[in-house]
Amino acid sequence: MINGQMENINKETESDQTCEDKFLGSKGIQRREGNETAIFNFVLRTLQEVWAQLIMVGVLMGMLSFTIDLCAEKLRNVHFWLYTKAAYVHPSAQPIIWVLYTLILILVSTSVCLYMSPQAAGSGIPVVKAIMGGVNLKEYLSFQVLICKSIVLILTLGSGLPLGKEDPFVHIAVMLATLLHKVKKLDPHAQATEGNNKVSNEILAAASAVGIACTLGSPVGGVLFSIEITSVCFPLQAYWGGFIASAASTVIFRFLAYLLHENSSLVELSRTYFPKGYPFDTKELIAFAALGIFCGALSIAFISLHRAVMKRVIQGRKLQKLLNERPLCYSAACVIIIMALMCPMGYGHYFAGGLIPSEVVPELLSNVSWNVKNYSSIDSRLIEHWSIDTTSSFLFWIIAVVLTLPIPCGVYMPVFVIGAAFGRLVGEIMAALFPQGLRSGDEISPIIPGAYAVIGAAAFAGAVTHAISVSVITMEATGEVQYILPMLLAVLIAVSISETVQASLYDSLIELSGLPYFKIKKRVPRQIQNMKVGQIMVKDVQFLSMESTCKEVQDLLIAMPKVALVIREQFVQDFENFTA
Protein backbone atom coordinates (compact mmCIF):
# COMPACT_ATOMS: atom_id res chain seq x y z
CA MET A 1 0.00 0.00 0.00
CA ILE A 2 2.82 2.37 0.90
CA ASN A 3 4.55 1.48 -2.36
CA GLY A 4 1.36 2.30 -4.27
CA GLN A 5 1.11 5.70 -2.61
CA MET A 6 4.78 6.43 -3.40
CA GLU A 7 4.23 5.55 -7.06
CA ASN A 8 1.23 7.89 -7.24
CA ILE A 9 3.26 10.71 -5.66
CA ASN A 10 6.11 10.17 -8.17
CA LYS A 11 3.67 10.20 -11.10
CA GLU A 12 2.07 13.43 -9.88
CA THR A 13 5.51 15.02 -9.45
CA GLU A 14 6.58 14.00 -12.96
CA SER A 15 3.33 15.28 -14.43
CA ASP A 16 3.78 18.61 -12.60
CA GLN A 17 7.35 18.95 -13.91
CA THR A 18 6.21 18.09 -17.42
CA CYS A 19 3.48 20.73 -17.28
CA GLU A 20 5.97 23.27 -15.92
CA ASP A 21 8.47 22.46 -18.66
CA LYS A 22 5.78 22.80 -21.30
CA PHE A 23 4.64 26.09 -19.81
CA LEU A 24 8.16 27.51 -19.67
CA GLY A 25 8.90 26.21 -23.15
CA SER A 26 5.84 27.89 -24.62
CA LYS A 27 6.77 31.12 -22.86
CA GLY A 28 10.31 30.80 -24.23
CA ILE A 29 8.94 30.37 -27.71
CA GLN A 30 6.60 33.30 -27.20
CA ARG A 31 9.48 35.41 -25.87
CA ARG A 32 11.64 34.49 -28.88
CA GLU A 33 8.82 35.28 -31.29
CA GLY A 34 8.23 38.53 -29.46
CA ASN A 35 11.91 39.49 -29.84
CA GLU A 36 11.83 38.72 -33.56
CA THR A 37 8.66 40.76 -33.97
CA ALA A 38 10.23 43.64 -32.03
CA ILE A 39 13.33 43.57 -34.25
CA PHE A 40 11.18 43.49 -37.38
CA ASN A 41 9.08 46.41 -36.14
CA PHE A 42 12.26 48.32 -35.22
CA VAL A 43 13.59 47.86 -38.76
CA LEU A 44 10.28 49.03 -40.22
CA ARG A 45 10.21 52.06 -37.92
CA THR A 46 13.78 52.90 -38.91
CA LEU A 47 12.79 52.77 -42.56
CA GLN A 48 10.17 55.41 -41.80
CA GLU A 49 13.05 57.89 -41.62
CA VAL A 50 14.09 59.45 -44.91
CA TRP A 51 17.79 59.33 -44.09
CA ALA A 52 17.61 55.57 -43.42
CA GLN A 53 15.90 54.94 -46.75
CA LEU A 54 18.49 57.00 -48.59
CA ILE A 55 21.44 55.26 -46.94
CA MET A 56 19.85 51.89 -47.72
CA VAL A 57 19.40 52.89 -51.37
CA GLY A 58 23.03 54.02 -51.56
CA VAL A 59 24.42 50.85 -49.98
CA LEU A 60 22.32 48.50 -52.12
CA MET A 61 23.12 50.42 -55.32
CA GLY A 62 26.84 50.35 -54.56
CA MET A 63 26.70 46.57 -54.09
CA LEU A 64 24.59 46.12 -57.22
CA SER A 65 26.89 48.30 -59.32
CA PHE A 66 29.95 46.30 -58.32
CA THR A 67 28.16 42.98 -58.92
CA ILE A 68 26.99 43.97 -62.39
CA ASP A 69 30.45 45.26 -63.33
CA LEU A 70 32.10 42.07 -62.12
CA CYS A 71 29.66 39.79 -63.96
CA ALA A 72 29.94 41.83 -67.16
CA GLU A 73 33.73 41.69 -66.98
CA LYS A 74 33.59 37.88 -66.67
CA LEU A 75 31.38 37.71 -69.77
CA ARG A 76 33.82 39.89 -71.72
CA ASN A 77 36.72 37.67 -70.63
CA VAL A 78 34.81 34.64 -71.92
CA HIS A 79 34.24 36.48 -75.20
CA PHE A 80 37.95 37.14 -75.74
CA TRP A 81 38.89 33.63 -74.55
CA LEU A 82 36.58 32.05 -77.14
CA TYR A 83 37.86 34.46 -79.78
CA THR A 84 41.49 33.50 -79.02
CA LYS A 85 40.80 29.75 -78.89
CA ALA A 86 38.96 29.89 -82.22
CA ALA A 87 42.29 30.64 -83.93
CA TYR A 88 43.46 27.11 -83.11
CA VAL A 89 40.47 25.69 -84.98
CA HIS A 90 40.65 27.88 -88.09
CA PRO A 91 41.47 31.57 -88.65
CA SER A 92 38.07 32.14 -90.26
CA ALA A 93 36.38 30.88 -87.09
CA GLN A 94 37.53 33.92 -85.12
CA PRO A 95 35.22 36.53 -86.70
CA ILE A 96 32.34 34.03 -86.58
CA ILE A 97 32.82 33.48 -82.84
CA TRP A 98 33.28 37.21 -82.33
CA VAL A 99 29.93 38.05 -83.92
CA LEU A 100 28.02 34.96 -82.72
CA TYR A 101 28.78 35.48 -79.02
CA THR A 102 27.49 39.06 -79.06
CA LEU A 103 24.52 38.06 -81.20
CA ILE A 104 23.38 35.42 -78.70
CA LEU A 105 23.63 37.78 -75.71
CA ILE A 106 21.80 40.62 -77.47
CA LEU A 107 19.04 38.34 -78.79
CA VAL A 108 18.48 36.98 -75.27
CA SER A 109 18.39 40.54 -73.91
CA THR A 110 15.98 41.68 -76.62
CA SER A 111 13.71 38.69 -76.03
CA VAL A 112 13.52 39.42 -72.30
CA CYS A 113 12.70 43.07 -72.95
CA LEU A 114 10.11 42.30 -75.62
CA TYR A 115 8.24 39.40 -74.03
CA MET A 116 8.84 39.66 -70.26
CA SER A 117 9.36 43.32 -69.41
CA PRO A 118 9.12 45.92 -72.21
CA GLN A 119 9.55 48.68 -69.63
CA ALA A 120 13.14 47.51 -68.98
CA ALA A 121 14.33 48.60 -72.43
CA GLY A 122 15.87 51.95 -73.21
CA SER A 123 17.86 54.51 -71.29
CA GLY A 124 15.64 54.89 -68.24
CA ILE A 125 16.33 58.58 -67.66
CA PRO A 126 13.39 59.71 -69.87
CA VAL A 127 11.08 57.54 -67.74
CA VAL A 128 12.50 58.98 -64.52
CA LYS A 129 12.16 62.48 -65.93
CA ALA A 130 8.48 61.87 -66.69
CA ILE A 131 7.88 60.41 -63.21
CA MET A 132 9.62 63.34 -61.54
CA GLY A 133 7.39 65.62 -63.60
CA GLY A 134 4.32 64.16 -61.91
CA VAL A 135 3.29 61.41 -64.35
CA ASN A 136 2.11 58.18 -62.72
CA LEU A 137 4.00 55.31 -64.38
CA LYS A 138 3.67 52.48 -61.86
CA GLU A 139 4.42 49.79 -64.44
CA TYR A 140 7.95 51.20 -64.85
CA LEU A 141 8.72 50.86 -61.11
CA SER A 142 7.78 47.24 -60.44
CA PHE A 143 9.99 44.52 -58.98
CA GLN A 144 9.81 42.54 -62.23
CA VAL A 145 11.24 45.47 -64.20
CA LEU A 146 14.02 45.85 -61.60
CA ILE A 147 15.10 42.21 -61.89
CA CYS A 148 14.82 42.08 -65.69
CA LYS A 149 16.72 45.34 -66.19
CA SER A 150 19.54 44.27 -63.87
CA ILE A 151 19.98 40.87 -65.53
CA VAL A 152 19.69 42.18 -69.08
CA LEU A 153 22.14 44.98 -68.27
CA ILE A 154 24.77 42.36 -67.37
CA LEU A 155 24.26 40.63 -70.73
CA THR A 156 24.35 43.93 -72.61
CA LEU A 157 27.57 45.16 -70.98
CA GLY A 158 29.19 41.75 -71.42
CA SER A 159 28.29 41.55 -75.10
CA GLY A 160 30.98 43.98 -76.22
CA LEU A 161 28.69 46.61 -77.76
CA PRO A 162 29.74 50.22 -77.04
CA LEU A 163 27.12 50.92 -74.37
CA GLY A 164 27.16 52.27 -70.84
CA LYS A 165 25.26 51.55 -67.64
CA GLU A 166 24.84 55.04 -66.15
CA ASP A 167 21.34 55.81 -67.45
CA PRO A 168 19.82 52.39 -66.60
CA PHE A 169 21.27 52.71 -63.10
CA VAL A 170 19.34 55.93 -62.56
CA HIS A 171 16.15 54.00 -63.38
CA ILE A 172 17.21 51.06 -61.19
CA ALA A 173 17.93 53.38 -58.23
CA VAL A 174 14.49 54.98 -58.53
CA MET A 175 12.84 51.54 -58.69
CA LEU A 176 14.78 50.41 -55.62
CA ALA A 177 13.75 53.52 -53.68
CA THR A 178 10.12 52.89 -54.61
CA LEU A 179 10.28 49.26 -53.45
CA LEU A 180 11.88 50.28 -50.13
CA HIS A 181 9.05 52.74 -49.66
CA LYS A 182 6.59 49.86 -50.12
CA VAL A 183 8.44 47.86 -47.45
CA LYS A 184 8.00 50.83 -45.13
CA LYS A 185 4.21 50.50 -45.39
CA LEU A 186 4.36 47.00 -43.85
CA ASP A 187 4.67 48.64 -40.44
CA PRO A 188 1.26 48.25 -38.77
CA HIS A 189 1.77 51.53 -36.91
CA ALA A 190 2.32 53.50 -40.13
CA GLN A 191 -0.58 55.75 -40.98
CA ALA A 192 -2.18 54.98 -44.34
CA THR A 193 -2.22 58.57 -45.50
CA GLU A 194 -1.76 59.88 -49.00
CA GLY A 195 1.70 61.14 -48.08
CA ASN A 196 2.80 57.68 -46.95
CA ASN A 197 1.36 55.97 -50.01
CA LYS A 198 3.25 58.17 -52.46
CA VAL A 199 7.02 58.26 -52.83
CA SER A 200 8.19 61.83 -52.35
CA ASN A 201 10.19 63.65 -54.98
CA GLU A 202 12.85 64.15 -52.31
CA ILE A 203 13.62 60.41 -52.25
CA LEU A 204 13.34 60.01 -56.03
CA ALA A 205 15.69 62.94 -56.68
CA ALA A 206 18.26 61.50 -54.26
CA ALA A 207 17.93 58.06 -55.86
CA SER A 208 18.55 59.59 -59.28
CA ALA A 209 21.82 61.03 -58.01
CA VAL A 210 22.88 57.59 -56.75
CA GLY A 211 22.62 56.14 -60.26
CA ILE A 212 25.43 58.41 -61.47
CA ALA A 213 27.48 58.38 -58.28
CA CYS A 214 27.82 54.59 -58.00
CA THR A 215 28.83 54.15 -61.64
CA LEU A 216 31.29 57.01 -62.14
CA GLY A 217 32.42 57.57 -58.55
CA SER A 218 31.17 61.14 -58.66
CA PRO A 219 28.93 61.96 -55.66
CA VAL A 220 28.92 65.74 -56.14
CA GLY A 221 28.47 65.59 -59.91
CA GLY A 222 25.78 62.94 -59.53
CA VAL A 223 23.63 65.23 -57.38
CA LEU A 224 24.06 68.17 -59.74
CA PHE A 225 23.36 65.97 -62.77
CA SER A 226 20.12 64.70 -61.24
CA ILE A 227 19.02 68.29 -60.59
CA GLU A 228 19.62 69.29 -64.21
CA ILE A 229 18.36 66.18 -65.98
CA THR A 230 15.56 64.55 -64.00
CA SER A 231 14.05 67.30 -61.86
CA VAL A 232 11.50 69.78 -63.13
CA CYS A 233 11.31 71.40 -59.68
CA PHE A 234 14.06 70.29 -57.30
CA PRO A 235 13.14 70.49 -53.58
CA LEU A 236 15.93 72.02 -51.50
CA GLN A 237 15.42 69.47 -48.73
CA ALA A 238 16.47 66.77 -51.20
CA TYR A 239 19.91 68.36 -51.54
CA TRP A 240 21.40 66.83 -48.39
CA GLY A 241 19.66 63.51 -49.04
CA GLY A 242 21.23 63.26 -52.46
CA PHE A 243 24.71 63.73 -51.01
CA ILE A 244 24.07 61.15 -48.27
CA ALA A 245 22.89 58.50 -50.72
CA SER A 246 25.59 59.31 -53.30
CA ALA A 247 28.39 59.21 -50.74
CA ALA A 248 27.13 55.89 -49.34
CA SER A 249 26.96 54.28 -52.78
CA THR A 250 30.41 55.54 -53.80
CA VAL A 251 32.03 54.36 -50.55
CA ILE A 252 30.48 50.88 -50.81
CA PHE A 253 31.42 50.54 -54.48
CA ARG A 254 35.04 51.53 -53.93
CA PHE A 255 35.36 49.43 -50.77
CA LEU A 256 34.07 46.30 -52.51
CA ALA A 257 36.37 46.91 -55.46
CA TYR A 258 39.34 47.26 -53.10
CA LEU A 259 38.34 44.27 -50.98
CA LEU A 260 37.27 41.74 -53.61
CA HIS A 261 38.93 42.78 -56.82
CA GLU A 262 42.44 43.72 -57.85
CA ASN A 263 41.55 45.54 -61.06
CA SER A 264 41.31 49.27 -60.44
CA SER A 265 39.41 49.83 -63.70
CA LEU A 266 36.23 48.98 -61.82
CA VAL A 267 36.81 51.84 -59.42
CA GLU A 268 37.90 54.78 -61.52
CA LEU A 269 36.70 56.01 -64.87
CA SER A 270 40.27 56.76 -65.94
CA ARG A 271 43.65 57.72 -64.60
CA THR A 272 45.32 60.77 -66.04
CA TYR A 273 48.95 61.72 -65.59
CA PHE A 274 48.98 65.29 -66.84
CA PRO A 275 51.66 67.71 -65.63
CA LYS A 276 50.78 69.55 -62.46
CA GLY A 277 51.30 73.23 -61.82
CA TYR A 278 50.09 75.48 -64.65
CA PRO A 279 49.28 72.90 -67.32
CA PHE A 280 48.14 75.08 -70.24
CA ASP A 281 48.99 78.38 -71.84
CA THR A 282 46.47 81.23 -71.81
CA LYS A 283 46.46 81.29 -75.60
CA GLU A 284 45.13 77.71 -75.56
CA LEU A 285 41.81 79.02 -74.25
CA ILE A 286 41.06 80.03 -77.84
CA ALA A 287 41.57 76.42 -78.94
CA PHE A 288 39.42 75.15 -76.06
CA ALA A 289 36.64 77.58 -77.01
CA ALA A 290 36.86 76.39 -80.62
CA LEU A 291 36.63 72.81 -79.33
CA GLY A 292 33.43 73.78 -77.50
CA ILE A 293 31.94 75.19 -80.71
CA PHE A 294 32.97 72.04 -82.57
CA CYS A 295 31.42 69.74 -79.95
CA GLY A 296 28.21 71.79 -79.89
CA ALA A 297 27.81 71.44 -83.66
CA LEU A 298 28.65 67.72 -83.48
CA SER A 299 26.04 67.18 -80.76
CA ILE A 300 23.37 68.66 -83.03
CA ALA A 301 24.39 66.28 -85.82
CA PHE A 302 24.48 63.31 -83.42
CA ILE A 303 21.01 63.94 -81.96
CA SER A 304 19.62 64.50 -85.47
CA LEU A 305 21.17 61.23 -86.70
CA HIS A 306 19.84 59.27 -83.73
CA ARG A 307 16.41 60.85 -84.14
CA ALA A 308 16.33 60.02 -87.86
CA VAL A 309 17.20 56.36 -87.20
CA MET A 310 14.60 56.12 -84.42
CA LYS A 311 11.90 57.64 -86.63
CA ARG A 312 12.82 55.23 -89.39
CA VAL A 313 12.44 52.31 -87.00
CA ILE A 314 9.20 53.55 -85.43
CA GLN A 315 7.42 55.07 -88.42
CA GLY A 316 8.83 53.16 -91.41
CA ARG A 317 6.07 50.96 -92.83
CA LYS A 318 8.21 48.16 -94.23
CA LEU A 319 10.51 48.09 -91.24
CA GLN A 320 7.58 48.28 -88.83
CA LYS A 321 5.89 45.37 -90.60
CA LEU A 322 9.09 43.34 -90.33
CA LEU A 323 9.42 44.18 -86.63
CA ASN A 324 5.83 43.13 -85.95
CA GLU A 325 6.32 39.77 -87.67
CA ARG A 326 9.93 39.12 -86.59
CA PRO A 327 10.80 41.52 -83.75
CA LEU A 328 14.34 40.14 -83.28
CA CYS A 329 15.43 40.80 -86.87
CA TYR A 330 16.33 44.46 -86.31
CA SER A 331 18.56 43.69 -83.32
CA ALA A 332 20.18 40.77 -85.15
CA ALA A 333 20.91 42.84 -88.27
CA CYS A 334 22.43 45.72 -86.27
CA VAL A 335 24.60 43.39 -84.17
CA ILE A 336 25.91 41.43 -87.17
CA ILE A 337 26.89 44.58 -89.09
CA ILE A 338 28.40 46.45 -86.15
CA MET A 339 30.30 43.53 -84.61
CA ALA A 340 31.62 42.49 -88.02
CA LEU A 341 33.09 45.98 -88.37
CA MET A 342 34.41 45.93 -84.79
CA CYS A 343 36.22 42.60 -85.12
CA PRO A 344 39.83 43.14 -83.94
CA MET A 345 41.33 41.14 -86.80
CA GLY A 346 39.40 43.23 -89.32
CA TYR A 347 38.54 46.89 -89.67
CA GLY A 348 37.92 47.19 -85.94
CA HIS A 349 41.69 47.13 -85.44
CA TYR A 350 41.73 50.82 -86.40
CA PHE A 351 39.10 52.10 -83.96
CA ALA A 352 39.51 49.95 -80.84
CA GLY A 353 37.00 47.34 -81.94
CA GLY A 354 38.03 44.99 -79.17
CA LEU A 355 37.48 47.51 -76.39
CA ILE A 356 34.35 48.70 -74.58
CA PRO A 357 33.77 52.37 -73.62
CA SER A 358 35.19 52.03 -70.08
CA GLU A 359 38.39 50.55 -71.60
CA VAL A 360 38.51 53.09 -74.43
CA VAL A 361 38.55 56.17 -72.18
CA PRO A 362 41.95 55.56 -70.47
CA GLU A 363 43.64 55.16 -73.85
CA LEU A 364 42.00 58.29 -75.27
CA LEU A 365 43.12 60.27 -72.22
CA SER A 366 46.69 58.99 -72.37
CA ASN A 367 49.45 61.54 -71.91
CA VAL A 368 51.60 60.46 -74.88
CA SER A 369 51.12 62.08 -78.29
CA TRP A 370 50.28 59.63 -81.03
CA ASN A 371 52.19 61.69 -83.60
CA VAL A 372 55.52 60.97 -81.92
CA LYS A 373 57.44 58.13 -83.58
CA ASN A 374 59.92 57.28 -80.83
CA TYR A 375 57.37 55.97 -78.31
CA SER A 376 58.09 53.08 -75.98
CA SER A 377 56.81 49.52 -76.31
CA ILE A 378 53.93 50.24 -73.90
CA ASP A 379 52.85 53.27 -75.91
CA SER A 380 53.20 51.23 -79.11
CA ARG A 381 50.74 48.68 -77.75
CA LEU A 382 48.36 51.53 -76.92
CA ILE A 383 48.64 53.22 -80.30
CA GLU A 384 48.15 50.03 -82.31
CA HIS A 385 44.44 50.10 -81.33
CA TRP A 386 43.80 53.41 -82.98
CA SER A 387 43.49 55.47 -86.08
CA ILE A 388 42.01 58.58 -84.52
CA ASP A 389 40.12 59.95 -87.53
CA THR A 390 38.62 56.51 -88.23
CA THR A 391 37.77 56.11 -84.55
CA SER A 392 35.93 59.43 -84.39
CA SER A 393 33.82 58.91 -87.50
CA PHE A 394 32.93 55.26 -86.84
CA LEU A 395 32.03 55.68 -83.18
CA PHE A 396 29.81 58.61 -84.14
CA TRP A 397 27.36 56.63 -86.28
CA ILE A 398 27.82 53.23 -84.59
CA ILE A 399 26.74 54.56 -81.18
CA ALA A 400 23.85 56.50 -82.73
CA VAL A 401 22.53 53.22 -84.18
CA VAL A 402 23.26 51.05 -81.12
CA LEU A 403 21.23 53.39 -78.89
CA THR A 404 18.11 52.52 -80.91
CA LEU A 405 18.17 48.84 -79.89
CA PRO A 406 15.32 47.71 -77.56
CA ILE A 407 17.66 46.87 -74.67
CA PRO A 408 18.87 48.75 -71.56
CA CYS A 409 21.49 51.15 -72.85
CA GLY A 410 23.35 54.00 -71.24
CA VAL A 411 23.80 57.21 -73.20
CA TYR A 412 26.34 59.01 -71.04
CA MET A 413 29.43 56.83 -71.47
CA PRO A 414 29.10 56.34 -75.28
CA VAL A 415 28.75 60.08 -75.93
CA PHE A 416 31.60 60.70 -73.48
CA VAL A 417 33.78 58.42 -75.63
CA ILE A 418 32.73 60.19 -78.84
CA GLY A 419 33.64 63.56 -77.34
CA ALA A 420 36.96 62.21 -76.10
CA ALA A 421 37.76 60.86 -79.58
CA PHE A 422 37.04 64.17 -81.31
CA GLY A 423 38.82 66.09 -78.56
CA ARG A 424 41.82 63.82 -79.01
CA LEU A 425 41.74 64.55 -82.74
CA VAL A 426 41.87 68.30 -82.07
CA GLY A 427 44.65 67.78 -79.53
CA GLU A 428 46.75 65.78 -81.98
CA ILE A 429 46.29 68.51 -84.60
CA MET A 430 47.44 71.11 -82.07
CA ALA A 431 50.44 68.94 -81.13
CA ALA A 432 51.36 68.62 -84.82
CA LEU A 433 51.05 72.38 -85.39
CA PHE A 434 53.04 73.26 -82.26
CA PRO A 435 55.43 70.36 -81.65
CA GLN A 436 57.58 72.45 -79.29
CA GLY A 437 54.59 73.80 -77.37
CA LEU A 438 53.44 77.39 -76.89
CA ARG A 439 55.93 79.97 -75.64
CA SER A 440 54.90 82.61 -73.11
CA GLY A 441 57.93 84.69 -72.22
CA ASP A 442 60.65 82.34 -71.04
CA GLU A 443 58.23 79.51 -70.29
CA ILE A 444 57.09 76.86 -72.78
CA SER A 445 53.80 75.04 -72.23
CA PRO A 446 53.66 71.70 -74.07
CA ILE A 447 50.51 70.66 -75.90
CA ILE A 448 48.82 67.74 -74.10
CA PRO A 449 46.40 65.90 -76.44
CA GLY A 450 44.91 63.97 -73.54
CA ALA A 451 43.73 67.22 -71.97
CA TYR A 452 41.87 68.08 -75.17
CA ALA A 453 40.28 64.63 -75.01
CA VAL A 454 39.06 65.29 -71.44
CA ILE A 455 37.61 68.67 -72.36
CA GLY A 456 36.10 67.35 -75.60
CA ALA A 457 34.44 64.49 -73.72
CA ALA A 458 32.89 66.86 -71.19
CA ALA A 459 31.78 69.35 -73.86
CA PHE A 460 30.17 66.76 -76.14
CA ALA A 461 28.46 64.88 -73.29
CA GLY A 462 27.18 68.16 -71.87
CA ALA A 463 25.89 69.32 -75.26
CA VAL A 464 24.05 66.04 -75.91
CA THR A 465 22.45 65.93 -72.45
CA HIS A 466 22.17 69.74 -71.93
CA ALA A 467 23.86 69.37 -68.55
CA ILE A 468 26.63 71.71 -67.41
CA SER A 469 27.26 69.46 -64.40
CA VAL A 470 29.07 67.06 -66.74
CA SER A 471 32.14 69.23 -66.18
CA VAL A 472 31.98 68.47 -62.44
CA ILE A 473 31.53 64.73 -63.12
CA THR A 474 34.51 64.73 -65.47
CA MET A 475 36.64 66.64 -62.99
CA GLU A 476 35.80 64.18 -60.20
CA ALA A 477 36.29 61.13 -62.41
CA THR A 478 39.66 62.18 -63.82
CA GLY A 479 40.95 64.26 -60.92
CA GLU A 480 42.09 67.04 -63.25
CA VAL A 481 41.07 70.07 -61.20
CA GLN A 482 43.59 72.33 -62.95
CA TYR A 483 41.58 72.10 -66.20
CA ILE A 484 38.30 73.28 -64.66
CA LEU A 485 38.47 76.72 -66.36
CA PRO A 486 38.88 75.52 -69.98
CA MET A 487 36.47 72.67 -69.27
CA LEU A 488 33.73 75.02 -68.08
CA LEU A 489 34.41 77.33 -71.02
CA ALA A 490 34.05 74.55 -73.59
CA VAL A 491 31.00 72.99 -71.87
CA LEU A 492 29.15 76.31 -71.60
CA ILE A 493 29.75 77.10 -75.26
CA ALA A 494 28.75 73.62 -76.44
CA VAL A 495 25.59 73.48 -74.29
CA SER A 496 24.53 76.98 -75.40
CA ILE A 497 24.85 76.06 -79.07
CA SER A 498 22.99 72.78 -78.66
CA GLU A 499 20.16 74.30 -76.57
CA THR A 500 19.63 77.05 -79.12
CA VAL A 501 19.05 74.63 -82.00
CA GLN A 502 17.23 71.61 -80.56
CA ALA A 503 16.19 69.59 -77.52
CA SER A 504 18.49 67.26 -75.61
CA LEU A 505 18.79 63.58 -76.43
CA TYR A 506 16.67 62.69 -73.38
CA ASP A 507 13.86 65.05 -74.44
CA SER A 508 14.07 63.59 -77.93
CA LEU A 509 13.70 60.07 -76.50
CA ILE A 510 10.69 61.18 -74.44
CA GLU A 511 9.01 62.59 -77.53
CA LEU A 512 9.77 59.57 -79.73
CA SER A 513 8.66 57.06 -77.10
CA GLY A 514 5.37 58.88 -76.51
CA LEU A 515 5.87 59.36 -72.77
CA PRO A 516 3.65 62.08 -71.24
CA TYR A 517 5.85 64.94 -70.15
CA PHE A 518 5.29 68.65 -69.64
CA LYS A 519 8.16 70.37 -71.38
CA ILE A 520 9.37 73.60 -69.86
CA LYS A 521 11.17 75.95 -72.22
CA LYS A 522 14.24 77.56 -70.70
CA ARG A 523 14.07 80.45 -73.14
CA VAL A 524 10.78 82.07 -74.14
CA PRO A 525 10.84 83.52 -77.69
CA ARG A 526 10.50 87.29 -77.87
CA GLN A 527 7.44 87.20 -80.13
CA ILE A 528 5.35 85.49 -77.44
CA GLN A 529 6.68 87.21 -74.32
CA ASN A 530 4.03 89.97 -74.51
CA MET A 531 1.28 87.76 -75.92
CA LYS A 532 -1.98 87.72 -73.95
CA VAL A 533 -3.73 84.53 -72.95
CA GLY A 534 -6.88 85.58 -74.79
CA GLN A 535 -4.99 85.43 -78.08
CA ILE A 536 -4.30 81.69 -77.81
CA MET A 537 -7.17 80.34 -75.69
CA VAL A 538 -10.18 78.53 -77.15
CA LYS A 539 -13.16 80.84 -76.70
CA ASP A 540 -15.96 78.88 -78.38
CA VAL A 541 -16.14 76.08 -75.82
CA GLN A 542 -18.61 73.29 -76.62
CA PHE A 543 -20.37 71.84 -73.59
CA LEU A 544 -23.41 69.87 -72.48
CA SER A 545 -25.73 70.62 -69.61
CA MET A 546 -28.51 68.68 -67.97
CA GLU A 547 -30.97 70.66 -70.10
CA SER A 548 -29.38 69.67 -73.45
CA THR A 549 -31.63 67.84 -75.89
CA CYS A 550 -30.82 64.51 -77.56
CA LYS A 551 -30.43 66.32 -80.88
CA GLU A 552 -27.78 68.62 -79.38
CA VAL A 553 -25.92 65.66 -77.89
CA GLN A 554 -26.01 63.79 -81.22
CA ASP A 555 -24.78 66.78 -83.22
CA LEU A 556 -21.98 67.44 -80.76
CA LEU A 557 -20.79 63.82 -80.77
CA ILE A 558 -20.78 63.77 -84.58
CA ALA A 559 -18.83 67.02 -84.74
CA MET A 560 -16.27 66.03 -82.08
CA PRO A 561 -16.19 62.22 -81.72
CA LYS A 562 -12.79 62.05 -79.96
CA VAL A 563 -13.14 64.95 -77.55
CA ALA A 564 -14.05 64.44 -73.90
CA LEU A 565 -17.06 66.60 -73.10
CA VAL A 566 -17.97 68.01 -69.70
CA ILE A 567 -21.54 67.54 -68.49
CA ARG A 568 -22.52 69.68 -65.52
CA GLU A 569 -25.81 70.61 -63.93
CA GLN A 570 -26.65 74.30 -64.27
CA PHE A 571 -23.44 74.81 -66.24
CA VAL A 572 -24.47 78.24 -67.53
CA GLN A 573 -25.29 79.52 -64.07
CA ASP A 574 -21.96 78.25 -62.69
CA PHE A 575 -20.10 79.89 -65.55
CA GLU A 576 -21.87 83.21 -64.94
CA ASN A 577 -21.03 83.03 -61.24
CA PHE A 578 -17.38 82.28 -62.10
CA THR A 579 -17.09 85.24 -64.50
CA ALA A 580 -18.81 87.51 -62.00
Going from the first residue of the chain to its last (580 residues), give the mean pLDDT of each consecutive group of 10, the final group possibly shorter: 49 49 49 58 63 84 87 88 86 87 91 86 85 79 88 89 86 87 61 50 80 81 83 69 84 80 51 67 87 93 89 75 75 88 76 66 70 51 57 78 86 87 87 78 77 90 91 83 88 92 86 73 66 74 74 79 62 52
The Cα 367–Cα 452 span in angstroms is 11
Give me the pLDDT at residue 233, please. 65
Assess contact for 327 and 489: CB atoms under 8 A. no
Q: What is the pLDDT of residue 298?
A: 92
| Ramachandran angles phi, psi of 544, nearest 5° | -125, 145
Instruction: Provide the pLDDT for residue 506.
Output: 87
pLDDT at 297: 93
What is the model's pLDDT at position 462? 92
Name the burial class of residue 309, with classes exposed (0-12), middle (13-18) and buried (19+) by CB atoms within 10 angstroms of its CB. Answer: middle
pLDDT at 211: 83
What per-residue confidence (pLDDT) applies to 378?
43
Q: Could you tell me if 229 and 410 are in contact, meaning their C-beta atoms sit under 8 angstroms apart?
A: no
**What CA–CA distance (Å, rounded) separates 438 from 446?**
6
CB 480 within 8 A of CB 272: yes
Domains identified in the chain and CATH numbers: 37-187+196-267 (1.10.3080.10), 283-502 (1.10.3080.10), 538-579 (no CATH)
The reply to whether the predicted model has a pTM over 0.85 is no
Please provide the size of the chain in residues.
580
Predicted local distance difference test score (pLDDT) of residue 388 = 62
pLDDT the model gives residue 484? 86
pLDDT of residue 1: 45
By the 8 A CB rule, do 217 and 250 touch?
Answer: yes
